[in-house]
Structure 1
Amino acid sequence: MALESVIIAGGGMAGFATARELRSRGFTGQLTLIDPEGLPYDRPPLSKDYLLGTRTRDQILLAGEDWFRDRRIEVLAGRAAALKPDEGVVLLEDGRELAADRIVLATGAAARKLDVPGSDLETVLELRNRADADKLRDVLRPGVRLAIVGAGLIGAETASAALALGAEVTLVDPVDPPLVPAVGTTLARRLHRMHEERGIRVLTGIPAAITVQGQEHRLALADGAAVYADAVLVGIGVVPETGLAVSAGLDTDNGILVDEHQRTSHPKIYAVGDAARVRLPDGTLLRRAEHWEHARNTGITAGAALLGQELPNHGAPWFWSDRHGVHVEGVGSMAGEGRVVIREKEGLPAAAFRLDADGRLEGCAAIDGGFTVRAARRIIDRRIPVDPAQLADSAVDLRKLAR
């Protein structure tokens, strides 16, 4: 039976990419996208340009109203509360019921909570959606003391933006340096040092409790130290939003389990983005990914799968981040065993490469090295053999090695 209607529950990058892909691949049926915030918007700017005020609400939209209208994509502001999988029905919180041939869950992820006394205070902030960014921006002003728990990508980006807005920032993380799995130890150390070099107080410690007296917060650490701040932001990662899937009886395990077609354990329901986790035919569970490109790619895959078309090959995973005026990119995986090769620029580590036991490139990360990462991606995807000495030599154009 031909596919005539699709409902997408969730309007982040993954949900948007699914809708866009369906139309670009020729789907002409009814297409509905449901999200509590209405029109989908891009989330990476929330800790960067949007927080700084250099991009507006309209400027971070993934597409305007005209784009959706021209493509006959209905956008409903609402929240999916339950599913009837066998019937292909989505029940909204306001009582509406919508039915379609297929349902795509793009429910995303929620900010991970800090499990210590006081972490549930209303004045303890998080940064996951536009309302969170608005609330944080209202707090940030010259001289305000901001304590950030978590120095991963979100924590580091927010620390950089808050500093630019004049805040006095303290950054707390239990690991020194953070981001080793993403960029390798050498680059992680350089990136983490940037905070102190620019005036951010950096502490290695484990939060134990948060208390507030008047307008002042006290963040107690397990070693007895304490940080006093006007505001506390927790940025320690995310957890997948699986509640809708669980209530519908779908298979879950730190994510909504899907196959390589993004199909869940129910044939009428697919899942994409941060909430989805691939289960291979032999039962092996892959690590759930949370990057922007992964969200987009899973939407593209779902679009093809829903229409019975050949699945795209996305190649090695890629991510990026920005802090203190530098751009960080990574491709493949820097985690795992193997040899790590460092390329320097002006006496500083600028790129890191991980090779497996057979000498094949498996991962690359770089600071202000977009061309390097793109070339590395080509090498990884095509399994091109490379000489470690040439990887380390900054005089060698990596793009030549990728041919």
Structure 2
Amino acid sequence: MSLASVVIIGAGHAGFQVAASLRQEGYDGKITLIGDEPGLPYQRPPLSKAYLLGKITETSLLFRPAEFFETQRIELLHDQATAVDRLNRRVLLASGAVATYDHLVLATGAHNRPLPVPGAELEGVFGIKAKADADVLAPLVKEARNVVVVGAGFIGLEFAAVAAALGATVHVLELGDRPMARALSREMSELFRDAHEHWGVHFDFRQGLARVIGENGRVCAVETSDGRTLPADLVVFGIGVIPNVQLATEAGLQIENGIKVDASLLTVDPQISALGDAACFPCLYNDEQPTRLESVQNAVDQGRCIAARLMGKPAPYSALPWFWTDQGNLKLQIAGLSTGYDSTVVLGSVEAREVSVLCFRNQHLVAVESCNRMGDHMAARKILARPPKLTPQTAAAEGFDLKAWEAANRD
């Protein structure tokens, strides 16, 4: 192996996976993992649900215990990368230290889109991105009586379900016309709307936030776009994220809705790779259009892809995208990308909230959304990972079973 040192900026899912996979692939050189948060690298998805509810501990969040980093010889630096010197192949750090590399991996992730209204700086207004956010928020949500959630995406609704379960009155403001509209079919979106309303969550669609109202430096209410005032002792917003591209931009790398990479996740600099929430790549499941995906699956699979390439096993990144969210007693799992779908077939029981929505585009299956139907999700991942032959007409037939069809149609 000609690479003596690999430096990874970002210690989230993507960065950790590159480091772990390099060792699994037999890399024996120096690995430096740079993270700007204290403590050991940890999982982020539980922060807005199980961790807030106290169902899992801080230790349970960790990817691996401290001993793993020691035995695997992964140097973990708690520092902030301030610049990339491509000419001399080194990373400058806020502490004044320098990390030199033969190959650099940018796993810089994304940050919450800020709440662009007066009063956003008041105490009691939160975005959930890091463990520090959840640590402050956890005791507050247990005491909150009136909670306003801005944005009906995955994060906002995960938190809404937690707050409602803890007894708060929850009001969700959403500019769109339904929950999770960017990610879900109308059928699945409506199922989740009905469930949240059953739990006591109130939705206000086509409605924005005008300002956050404070008293003694702390939130006490919000004003909606149409001039109404809603009481609020806690405001949580989830209005999307912005990829962290500043380092890449200043280093002269190409930016296109993220750090632009090729099919093997290389930037224009052959000594620098990028992946995860920060990277925009030609996605096989989106007609090879430049695509940036925000999911644990994508971060992990891209990490494995980069590690394999660095160990002399290059291959285009071709993993099937899949996603999940847990809200109350509903587990939603999505396989594939439903971009541009033009027809759907619904399987299961809406009343029992056990449903799969099959999304087709031009008669081709492109995505399957499954609520509390894990078997369907696993079958969908197998079907979509090869050229899918399932048609809407077949799926709509009485008695159709996705798992049975997958088993009967394996190549």
TM-score clears 0.5: yes
- On the 8 A contact 1:261/1:311 being kept in 2, the answer is yes
2: CA distance between counterparts of 1:263 and 1:143? 46
User: What letter corresponds to residue 360 of structure 1 in structure 2?
Assistant: H
1:207 to 206, 209, 215: 209
* Structure 1 match to 2:356: 351
Can you list the C-alpha shifts for 1:60-118, whole angstroms capped at 9, x where unaligned? 00111111111111111111111111211111101001101011111110011122222
Measured after TM superposition, the shift of residue 36 of structure 1 is: 1.6
User: What letter corresponds to residue 367 of structure 1 in structure 2?
Assistant: C
Measured after TM superposition, the shift of residue 163 of structure 1 is: 2.0
Equivalent runs, 1:1-400 vs 2, <5 Å: 2-37=2-37, 38-204=39-205, 205-214=207-216, 215-278=218-281, 286-311=290-315, 314-345=318-349, 347=351, 350-357=355-362, 359-392=363-396, 395-400=399-404
2: CA distance between counterparts of 1:303 and 1:297? 10
Name stretches of at least 5 consecutive residues in structure 1 with no aligned partner.
none
- On the 8 A contact 1:344/1:394 being kept in 2, the answer is no
- On the 8 A contact 1:217/1:232 being kept in 2, the answer is no
Measured after TM superposition, the shift of residue 213 of structure 1 is: 1.8
User: What letter corresponds to residue 27 of structure 2 in structure 1?
Assistant: F
- Cα gap change, 1:313/1:82 in structure 2, threshold over 3 Å: closer, same or farther? closer
- Cα gap change, 1:314/1:48 in structure 2, threshold over 3 Å: closer, same or farther? farther
Measured after TM superposition, the shift of residue 211 of structure 1 is: 2.0
Can you list the C-alpha shifts for 1:120-140, whole angstroms capped at 9, x where unaligned? 334421100000001111311
2: CA distance between counterparts of 1:75 and 1:252? 28
Can you list the C-alpha shifts for 1:346-379, whole angstroms capped at 9, x where unaligned? 656711111221x221111010111112212222
Deviates more, 1:15-24 or 1:256-265: 256-265
- Cα gap change, 1:380/1:104 in structure 2, threshold over 3 Å: closer, same or farther? same
- On the 8 A contact 1:184/1:335 being kept in 2, the answer is no
2: CA distance between counterparts of 1:351 and 1:364? 7
Aligned length in residues: 400
What secondary structure sits across from 1:182 in the alignment? coil
Deviates more, 1:393-402 or 1:235-244: 393-402
2: CA distance between counterparts of 1:330 and 1:32? 34
Can you list the C-alpha shifts for 1:2-58, whole angstroms capped at 9, x where unaligned? 111101111000001111111111111001111022421000000111111111111
RMSD: 2.0
Deviates more, 1:387-396 or 1:201-210: 387-396
Deviates more, 1:140-149 or 1:265-274: 140-149
1: CA distance between counterparts of 2:25 and 2:144? 52
Q: TM-score, normalised by structure 1?
A: 0.94
- On the 8 A contact 1:86/1:268 being kept in 2, the answer is no
2: CA distance between counterparts of 1:76 and 1:136? 27
Q: TM-score, normalised by structure 2?
A: 0.92
2: CA distance between counterparts of 1:253 and 1:174? 26
What secondary structure sits across from 1:121 in the alignment? coil
- On the 8 A contact 2:151/2:238 being kept in 1, the answer is yes
Name stretches of at least 5 consecutive residues in structure 2 with no aligned partner.
none
Can you list the C-alpha shifts for 1:243-286, whole angstroms capped at 9, x where unaligned? 11112121112211111121112222111110011158xxx851
What secondary structure sits across from 1:52 in the alignment? coil
2: CA distance between counterparts of 1:95 and 1:296? 31
